[in-house]
Amino acid sequence: MEEKKNKRYSGEFKQLVVEDILNNKLALHEARRKYFPHITKESGCNFIKKWIKLYQEQGAQRLMEDRRGKGSGGRPKKTIVSEMTPQQELEYLRAENEYLKNCIALVEEKRELRSGKNRK
């Protein structure tokens, strides 16, 4: 069985395809036949749809970037209090206290609503 490899297209080529589709109102299957005659109908045009979406949402420059293999970066790094200046630590702890007070207030409000419903 022949190994299937993904082809890499340059950003300029992607931009050419997308702009041709948008400017000339080409259907995806027409663009596939024009630019990708080697791709069968069954393979679909999903990659072209992704290019169009990227172009419309983030501009032509986004098509120039090769983002394969680059993760989202994951969760933000946890704030380490020991590495902060005293002023930063004070601000951090004040914000944390405010957050916890708001959480407690929400829980109490929810309890009051439940107990109010039970009384009816």
CB 21 within 8 A of CB 28: yes
pLDDT score, position 36: 85
**pLDDT for 12 beyond 80:** yes
User: Is the confidence at residue 1, as pLDDT, over 50?
Assistant: no
pLDDT 10s digits, 23-77: 999 888 888 888 888 887 767 778 888 889 988 988 888 888 776 666 666 776 7
pLDDT digits (tens, 9 = 90+) for 69-107: 666 667 767 767 778 889 998 999 999 999 999 999 999
**CB-based contacts of 62, cutoff 8 Å, min separation 6:** 54, 55
Q: Which helix (H) or strand (E) holds 96?
A: helix 86-119
